[in-house]
Chain A
């Protein structure tokens, strides 16, 4: 007892070591030793000085470290990580060991019995058991699309798709083809089809949250599937039409009814490369069940630079001058009695019906002698035939439609893109963090932000193309020219205006619905319309301005580029306001389409 007191007294006199002082400052000493060192420091200036030195040393180290960190900071954008994560997710889809699912059970006994049972069950049901889950399958298919884009600068996926339609009310089915260009880096999907049931299918896709996505897209399928209130999935193994192994995901929707609703959809993914090769969609019609089927015919990934800009709806206001070439198809000109204005509107209307007004390189003009001519370059001979067939009913027309092959024999309509790669050492294009991402960060996940941005950019490109088509229509038909139109001509003009306004309205409304949940709850009011705003061409111009302004804003806010370089303080609210204005303008034009082509003439 006595010796213990003595030892304690002597310990109290001894100084803590440097290591003990460091541990004390780091909070690593035990409670008793901490109390001892603390009481020692109360009366020992020497140790307090030592402790201070330790503090300075730590401070020096941290300063040096900070200097180093400022010279070699971590990357601001870890742009590749998202992709790596997804690739890792897709690449590691292997079944988890059963051991890890039952960590709490005695492993050997349970597993031995279970393995036997499971093996028997697997053997019996092998043909119907999916090697992957529905989500894993979709994830792999999405990753396959990303992988396809690797190594190609600004890649675009070009696909030819076999498109079939069947209705329960008709005996025979219909068939057609779709050409699809999908920008794999924030570019929109662009489709072209001559099939008469294509517009109807597009509206089905839009209605079921698949609009704006590429066709045969696992992402679109996943978005629709996730939006369902209830569903039943079935994944099965089979073979595609070419005999190669494939996995099919069949999702049956529960709880949704009404015309235009997708009741069931099937996605077939080729095992070899996890590419989606076929999709079928079963839709509730007005009084029938409609079935659409899309199957890939061919696919190629190509750089954007090798494609004609008009494919993505890039507007062209004037026909570029081209070298004179022999007319590939000329119809003897015979002017109708009601003049060239009616002929021109009829031509535009026919082109509008086959969606040749959305940025395709086709121009309609009437010359001084009153002749109407159509001048254009199209992608393929099939498209050329389609145009010629559509316009053949107008006798008094000069047509100069050529394919790329005819124009430049050496060029190929679908470029040999796969051989092209980004040059080694080319500087990576770095852009700032998009304002939308900054605004939504912390409120929603990064993947949701990306999804929102992609969807918005895609939709905006679509309504931009429609806006330019409307603008071209407006600039081609001045008030004087509209005056010369017959009643039928005016009706055609009104219908085209209404179609474009409706398409703009659909795109803008869809974007609005996407962003509205994240906008501030204050009421947003649009500008009041006035009488002049409903008159041709003022209303169309104001719609064009509002829609293209909103599209520019979407691009600027969602991609961090574009004309609106200065990010607003509240990007969501700014976007919401712009979309609301565009929507109001579109509604105004659509609802007044029948009266709009009646120009306001100045009082005499």
Chain B
């Protein structure tokens, strides 16, 4: 499904590049289909940093709008998925510079509670504790470690992660190794 949508987008881009596809409707449709396939992974990645659902939604949509704009300008995009994550990452970095990011997911959850939105987290004590420990686990990771882990969890190769984050491949290797060791330590503790 994912590869089909991406392949179709590439075909579309090929037609745009060759001047065969002067119409915007096909490109719009193709981007729409890629959006359906990749919106949730991009959203999760964005949310892991901005920690606000509304902002994550806006930035995710902006990412795909940029895809459409770039394709319309005839830019070549070989790896659509990695490109989207890179744009999302840049948007998140820009956003983080402008707006303060909540300290933790607990803060975000508290914010939701105060907004009157029912908290969907489990009410049972043990599940709450489990949830809290999992939040701690994620919080124990440095931002760069968390980003590397998130991108790896989305199935991206080390080379792609390096491209997205603008770092070298050995740095990705050591960052991921460090993140894994931290999690192992948390587990043992």
Contacts and interface: CB of A to CB of B under 8 A. Distances in A.
A12 interface: no
B153 A62 contact: yes
Nearest to A226: B25
A101 B22 CA distance: 11
Interface in B27-56: 27-29, 31-33, 35, 39-40, 43-44, 47-48, 53, 56
B90 interface: no
Given A81-B64, A88-B68, A60 B137 contact: yes
B187 A61 contact: no
Given A53-B184, A101-B17, A86 B28 contact: yes
Interface stretch (B78-86, B93-101, B170-178): B170-178
B16 interface: yes
Contacts of B173: 19, 22-23, 28
Nearest to B175: A19
A71 B180 contact: no
A19 to B, nearest CB: 4
Interface residues of B, number: 64
A445 B29 contact: yes
B25 A75 contact: no
Contacts, number: 152
A559 B43 CA distance: 27
A99 B75 CA distance: 10
Which among A23, A26, A61, A446 has the greatest number of chain B C-beta atoms within 10 A? A61
Contacts of B134: 60, 63-64, 67-68
Nearest to A78: B39
Nearest to A442: B1
Contacts of A325: none
A28 B65 CA distance: 32
A370 to B, nearest CB: 62
A64 B157 contact: no
A58 B138 CA distance: 12
A97 interface: yes
Contact of A67 (B108, B131, B183): B131
A103 interface: yes
Interface in B1-33: 16-19, 22-25, 27-29, 31-33
B179 to A, nearest CB: 8
Given A64-B137, A65-B138, A68-B135, A89 B177 contact: no
Contacts of B61: 78, 80-81, 84
Contacts of A56: 184, 187
B164 interface: no
A61 B18 CA distance: 44
A133 B22 contact: yes
Nearest to A65: B153
A89 B35 contact: no
A103 B28 contact: no
B125 to A, nearest CB: 16
Contact of A60 (B28, B74, B76, B183): B183
A200 interface: no
Nearest to B40: A74
A135 interface: yes
Given A54-B180, A61-B137, A96-B74, A85 B64 contact: yes
A85 B17 contact: no
A89 B68 contact: yes
A136 B24 contact: yes
A228 to B, nearest CB: 16
A96 B23 contact: no
A100 B158 contact: no
Interface size on A, as a range, is: 35 or more
A135 B25 contact: yes
A100 B14 CA distance: 11
B59 interface: no
A28 B23 CA distance: 41
Contacts of A135: 22-25
B120 A71 contact: yes
A445 B29 CA distance: 8
Given A28-B157, A101-B18, A88 B152 contact: no
A71 B69 CA distance: 33
A16 to B, nearest CB: 12
A170 B55 CA distance: 63
Interface string A19-61: 1001100101000000000000000000000000110111011
B135 A64 contact: yes
Interface in A79-96: 80-82, 84-86, 88-89, 92-93, 96
Interface string B144-169: 00000110110001100000000000
A86 B24 CA distance: 9
Contacts of A89: 24, 27-28, 68, 72
A569 interface: no
A84 B65 contact: yes
B174 A19 contact: yes
A53 B188 CA distance: 10
Contacts of A81: 32, 35, 39, 61, 64
Contacts of A65: 44, 48, 138, 150, 153
Contacts of B181: 18
A22 B177 contact: yes
16 contacts: A26-B176, A54-B184, A60-B187, A63-B134, A64-B135, A65-B44, A71-B121, A72-B108, A74-B47, A80-B61, A88-B65, A89-B27, A92-B73, A96-B16, A101-B18, A447-B29
| Chain A to chain B: the 3 pairs with minimum beta-carbon distance, closest first | A100-B74, A64-B134, A19-B177
Given A62-B153, A72-B105, A135-B24, 13 more contacts: A23-B158, A26-B152, A60-B137, A64-B137, A65-B153, A68-B105, A72-B47, A72-B108, A81-B32, A88-B65, A89-B72, A97-B73, A136-B24
